[in-house]
Amino acid sequence: EKSEVSGVVAKADIKPKSIYRAKKWSDEVENLYRFQQAGYRDEVEYKQVKQVDMVECWPETGFVKKLQRKDNTFYYYNKQRECEDKDVHKVKVYVY
């Protein structure tokens, strides 16, 4: 049994209802790209796995700044867009 570290654990195992691939770049797609590079589905899964309430973001852009992978190494991201047009179609968007 999991102890309730936070509301994140209480909502554990939220499964997406559907999934589609991104067609054009947006702020949301940028952040999904960052989570997926680090090995997570999205922010929901990251918060479940790492049991954190907050993800570190750049205040200027709102993009994810730093993520911890499942093997505990860190990914650091730039303030600017990193997901190029050619990679947009690789991003999976999950619908809850």
CA torsion, ordered 33, 38, 40, 44, to nearest 10 deg: -80
Q: What pLDDT was estimated at residue 5?
A: 41
Report the predicted TM-score, pTM, of the whole model to 2 decimal places: 0.85
Q: What pLDDT was estimated at residue 14?
A: 76
- Rounded to whole angstroms, the Cα distance separating 84 from 30 reads 9
Which pLDDT tens digits describe the chain residue by residue (96 residues)?
333 444 444 455 778 899 999 999 999 999 999 999 999 999 999 999 999 999 999 999 999 999 999 999 999 999 999 999 999 999 999 999
Q: What pLDDT was estimated at residue 15?
A: 83
The residues, any chain, with a CB within 8 Å of residue 42's CB and separated by 6 or more, are 32, 35, 36, 94
Show the tokens assigned to 47.
């918060």
- Rounded to whole angstroms, the Cα distance separating 89 from 64 reads 19
Q: What pLDDT was estimated at residue 11?
A: 54
Q: What pLDDT was estimated at residue 4?
A: 42
In single-letter form, the type of residue at position 65 comes to K
DSSP secondary structure of 47-69: HHHHT-S---B-TTT--B-EEE-
Chain center to CA of 22: 14
Q: What pLDDT was estimated at residue 1?
A: 38
